[in-house]
Amino acid sequence: LFFINYICNIYNILYKNTNNMRKKIALITGVTGQDGSYLADYLIKKKYFVHGVKRRSSSLNTSRVDHIYQDRFEGKRNFFLHYGDITDAISVSTLIRKIKPDEIYNLAAQSHVSVSFEVPEYTGNADAIGALRILEAIKFHGLENKTKFYQAGTSEMFGKVKEIPQNEKTPFYPRSPYGVAKVYAHWITVNYREAYNIFACNGILFNHESSRRGGTFVTKKIVNALCKIKLGLQKTLYLGNLEAKRDWGHAKDYVFAMWKMLQQKKASDFVISTGKQFTVKQFVNLVLDELKIKYIWKGRGINSKCLIKGTGNKIVSIDKNYFRPLEVDTLLGNSTKAKKELRWKPKYNIKSMVREMVAEEINSLKND
C-alpha cells in the first residue's frame, strides 16, 4: 500500500508540473485597440499563446500590434491574429471552439461615448450583446470549467453618480447608449457566473490613457494638438466641456489589473482607478506646463479661451459641437478592494502619464 501511495504521489507531482508548465492560451477581442495591444504585450512577456480578434477593414487597422506581429511562416509563434467580429455570433463561437482558451478578455467595443449617441443600436449590439455571445459560446462548447472570462466594464456605468467616490457597490446610472450597453454586459457576466459557475469577472475601469489612445478621446486630442502647436504645425485646439472631471490612469497599469483579476481563486468584480480627479481644463494646463508654454485663460463656459502669454495667440477655443446630449460631470473611483485583494496599485500618476504622452507625441511628430 505504501508503495502504491508513493507512486501515486510522484505521478501527481509530475502531472501537476507538466500542467503548470503548459503555456496558457489567451483570446483577446479588441486586440487592435489601446488596451488590447498593451494586454497582448504583457501576456506575450508572460509566455502565453495570445490569440487576437481583428475586424476586416478597408484600411490597415493593426498599427498598435504591428510590433508583435509574426508571419505564419515564422517558427515558434506565440501571437496569432484571426478575423472576427463581436456582432457575429458564428465567428465568436467558431474561434472559441477552435482555440479553447484558458482566458478570454472581452475588450472589443464601440468605445466612444459621444459616438454612441450617433450609433446607439450598433453600440448595443457590440457592447452589450457581444459579451453575451462570448459567454453563450463558453457554455455551448462545455468550457465552463476551463475558460475564464474578463469583461471590460467602465466607470461610465456610474454616469450620474449616486455617491462619491464610486466603488463596486455604487448603483449604476448610465448617461449614454454606451453606458447603458455596458451595464447589460456587466449584469450578464454576473448572471453567467452565478447560473453556470463560469469564472467571469467585471473590471470597472475608470478612464485610462496612453500614447496608443485613439485620437478622438480628449487626452490624446489635447496632447496631439498642443504638441503640434508647440512645433508650429497647428494654430488652435477646439474642445467641448472643460469642466468635466475624470479619474485618469495609465492603460499599462490597467491591463495588469485585468490579468490579476483572472488569477484569483474566486471570480469577482473590481473597480480600477487612481482615486484622483482632474477637470479637462486642468489636463490642458498640465500638458501646457509640460510643453513649457506660458498661457492665460479668459472667459467662462462656452466663451472660454486660452491665449499664449505675450503674443495673445488663441490656442484653445470652445466648439459647441463637442458637447454631448448628456454629460457625465464627475467620476472618481475607490479601488480599495483591488488594492487589498489583487494587491494592485498604479505605477503612473497624472504627471508621469502626461510626461510620457507628450514625449512620445513630440517624438512621433518629429519622425513624421
Q: Does 207 bind ligand NAP (CB under 6 A)?
A: yes
Helix, coil or strand: residue 297? strand
Does 246 participate in binding ligand F7E (rule CB under 6 A)? yes
Give me the 108-137 binding string for ligand NAP, x by CB under 6 A, dash otherwise: xxxx--------------x-----------
243 noted as active-site residue: no
Nearer to ligand F7E, 206 or 259 (CB): 206
Choice from 26, 95, 218, 229 touching ligand F7E (CB under 6 A): 218
280 binds ligand F7E (CB under 6 A): yes
Of residues 214-233, those binding ligand NAP (CB under 6 A): 214
327 noted as active-site residue: no
Looking only at the bridges linking them, the beta strands covering 49-54 and 79-83 are: parallel
Residue 30, classed as helix, strand or coil, is coil
Catalytic residue among 156, 209, 290, 361: 156
**Contact string 294-323 vs ligand F7E (x = CB under 6 A):** ----------------------------x-
Q: How many CB atoms lie within 10 A of CB 297?
A: 14
> Which of residues 12, 17, 61, 352 is near ligand NAP by CB under 6 A?
61
Active-site residue, 156 included:
yes
Report, in Å, the least distance between residue 123 CB and ligand NAP.
9
> Does residue 111 bind ligand F7E (CB under 6 A)?
yes
Bridge partners of residue 104, in order along the sequence: 27, 149
Stretch of 104-112, 157-165, 188-196, 342-350 lying at the interface with ligand NAP (CB under 6 A): 104-112
Q: Are the beta carbons of 196 and 188 closer than 8 angstroms?
A: no
For 194-279, where are the E strands, in sequence order?
A: 200-205, 208-209, 237-239, 245-246, 249-250, 270-272, 278-279
Q: In the structure, how many helices (H) and strands (E) does the chain have?
A: 12, 15
In the complex, the smallest distance separating the C-beta of residue 175 from ligand F7E, rounded to whole angstroms, is 10
> Of residues 216, 336, 352, 364, which one binds ligand F7E by CB under 6 A?
216
Q: Which is nearer to ligand NAP, 33 or 346 (CB)?
A: 33
- C-beta nearest to ligand F7E: residue: 244
Nearest residue to the partner ligand NAP, using Cβ: 33
On the CB side of 229, how many CA atoms lie within 13 Å of its CA?
A: 25
Contact (Cβ atoms closer than 8 angstroms) between residue 156 and residue 182: yes
CA distances from 222 to 128, 225, 227, 258, 365 (A): 30, 5, 8, 27, 14
Rounded to whole angstroms, how far apart are CA atoms 354 and 176? 27
Cα separation, 11 vs 298, in Å, equals 75
Q: Which of 37, 67, 42 is nearest to 53 (CA)?
A: 37
CA distance linking residue 182 with residue 128, whole number of Å? 6
Residues that are catalytic: 154, 156, 178
Contact set with ligand NAP (CB under 6 A): 29-30, 32-36, 53, 55, 57, 61, 85-87, 107-111, 126, 152, 154, 205, 207-208, 214
Q: What is the binding site for ligand F7E (CB under 6 A)?
A: 111, 113-114, 154-156, 206-207, 216-218, 221, 239-241, 244, 246, 280, 322, 324, 327
